[in-house]
Amino acid sequence: MCGLSGFLGAVPFHDKGRQQAVLKRMTDTIRHRGPDDGGYWIDGERGIALGHRRLSILDLSPAGHQPMHSPSGRYVMVFNGEIYNHLEMRRQLEAGVDGSASPAWRGRSDTETLLAGFDAWGIAPALARTVGMFAFAVWDRHSGTLTLGRDRIGEKPLYYGWQGRGSGAVFLFGSELKALRAHPAFESDIDRDALCLQMRYSYIPAPHSIYRGIAKLPPGCLLTVSARTREPRLTSYWSGPHQVTAGVAALFAGSAEQAVEALDALLRDAVQAQMIADVPLGAFLSGGVDSSTVVALMQAQSARPVKTFSIGFHEEGYNEAEYAKAVAAHLGTEHTELYVHAQQALSIIPRLQSVYDEPFSDSSQLPTILVSQLARQHVTVSLSGDAGDELFCGYNRYQLAARLWKTVNAAPLPLRRLAARGITAVPIDTWNRLARRTARYLPPSMRFANTGDKLHKGAQVLSHSTLDDLYLGLVSHWDDPAALVLGGAEPPTMLRGEAPPLTGLDGVQRMMALDLLTYLPDDILVKVDRAAMSVSLETRVPFLDHRVVEFAWRLPQSMKLRNGVSKWALREVLYKYVPRALIERPKMGFGVPIDSWLRGPLRDWAETLLAEPRLRSEGYFDPAQLRRKWHEHLSGQRNWQYHLWDVLMFQSWLERQAAHGVDDDEHMALMSCHTS
């Protein structure tokens, strides 16, 4: 795993040395992504600069140094990721393409293989042959064009955008925003519309970023740009929506037993390919279905005990470590676990904005950083079980949404909306008082804490007109972010206004597909990539081998959700290696008790960030709404942990931007480098 950065100028560079200083500064900001080596390449006449930081995983020798040239010399590339089938691609190239000679290999790196593939087949055709995760920037010296590329699902990040005006305009790109911010042309204009998205989803979905003019390259896409043609041209070489609908239209025709065997074989191949490394390797293990499957298949194909890592919490309801330990003992792995006290988790909070570099408020970011730190003490590469939920119908909300919709849709929409207005017309406090007075007359199963809160949430469900709207409500934090963010207007997304034509899918399948296209790349994979790379740990996700993804969508829904049991086919694979009794339990998730922490050890920190004078001075949020929710949360009247965490992560990020901005003298020096 590595990090890349660079820029393309609208005019030639007159002082290559000064431009290299800018490039080095950009690249040094992401040193954590590649502590083993750094490289720089500049063509001053063409105005292109490429920088790279290397985390050596395959071919630890200097032959893997980047930026790297293709065998013909046509392409120069900086690459982040892994091509798991690159040895197979080498054999194809060695057989010759259209009578061409076999490449004269300099080393054993997958970057060299991919560049030779670009020479032989072209960029998009070469990518079609790959199995892997990656982001790259490649300069075509013949055409004078820059191409950015990202893997099919979006495991590896890539930001880009034009900054500056006129002859001073520069096209910036890099693995993390901090690399772009280090260029003197960067403008740092916060996009309030993107902030609305973070308030709704807890993340900012591609192609948006927190800055105006800076975008994320969507998964499965190539972007081409040049100094002559400044408008980037975006093309897709692999389409998630197409693969989803194609799979549902051509379902697996074999028996359930044959499907399980086929899935077992595919996953074994994917896991085996991702176990190749020239450095120590292990896996995250929570004890759930997904990570246990990955570890079981690793151990089944390893002559030595696999190194596995788990994080445990002392708070009841948040600890899965005991289950992971039982699975590890059964499989015979070399298991390491760390039980974390609240103070250890809280100590991570000051680092969050440096790690994530953009407002990001999935609170499971905290244990993800902790387990990454633990693993990095022993290995350089760790496999994970991410994406099993999206591919095999694992999230509880899929069944919950389907049941809710079946119930509420039995009544006419006007009647439901009338009932919702009646419920919400009564204040939450009033409902709670009524509930307390009548509790003694009700059976225990009908006595609830915060009854008013639950009734108001239920009223929201009643008012939805479609299952898609209901699902959006379930995955949303702030229901009307534009009313909270001053001057913000929420842009459309795949979940709200720009859904792809997912024809042939039922309601649950649509939820799964939308999660695959949005929540997985923009939340889950961001969370894991930034956490792991902050400690120079490479993570790999066997479920995201695109052949596994495509096969999963060919499985009939009855092989994913059977008799109320989620991930049926995947469980059947796992039960070949691990007893059912070690796995079958309610799904827990990878969370932390943010709600109680905000009322306890985080209260003073949060109060500082949410102080009304501060909110008014900064001018991003409506203070009245925030202060009301903060007081309701502190009193225990409502649980607003997710809403408040969204705001606190932005406030903390904003504070860090102010504290870690480039000082005036350094900025002026860099501006001199840029304009000379």
Model pLDDT, residue 453? 63
Q: In whole angstroms, what is the distance from residue 473 CA to residue 200 CA?
A: 9
How many domains are there within the chain?
2
Residue 12 tokens read as 């030639």
Q: In whole angstroms, what is the distance from residue 603 CA to residue 599 CA?
A: 5
Q: Last residue of some domain: 223, 238, 253? A: 238
Q: Last residue of some domain: 238, 270, 285? A: 238
Q: In whole angstroms, what is the distance from residue 601 CA to residue 589 CA?
A: 23
**Angle, helix 451-462 to helix 428-438, in steps of 10 degrees:** 120
Model pLDDT, residue 665? 36
Catalytic residue among 2, 196, 221, 673: 2
First to last CA, the chain: 34
In a domain, 467, yes or no: no
Model pLDDT, residue 104? 87
Model pLDDT, residue 166? 82
**640 is in which domain, residue-wise?**
594-659
In a domain, 459, yes or no: no
Model pLDDT, residue 48? 96
In a domain, 675, yes or no: no
Q: In whole angstroms, what is the distance from residue 506 CA to residue 525 CA?
A: 26
Model pLDDT, residue 586? 66
In a domain, 19, yes or no: yes
In a domain, 277, yes or no: no
Helices (H), 95-122: 110-121
Model pLDDT, residue 615? 98
In a domain, 172, yes or no: yes
Task: Mark whether 2 is an active-site residue.
Answer: yes
Q: Last residue of some domain: 238, 263, 291? A: 238
| Secondary structure class of 5 (helix, strand, coil) | strand
The CATH number of whichever domain residue 232 belongs to comes to: 3.60.20.10
Overall pTM > 0.85: yes
| Secondary structure class of 430 (helix, strand, coil) | helix
- The DSSP bridge pattern shows strands 170-174 and 2-9 to be antiparallel
In a domain, 205, yes or no: yes
Model pLDDT, residue 404? 85
In a domain, 234, yes or no: yes
Question: With a cut of 50, which residues of the chain have pLDDT below it?
Answer: 662-676
- Asked if the bond preceding 207 is cis, omega within 30° of 0, the reply is yes
Q: In whole angstroms, what is the distance from residue 561 CA to residue 548 CA?
A: 18
Q: In whole angstroms, what is the distance from residue 336 CA to residue 309 CA?
A: 5
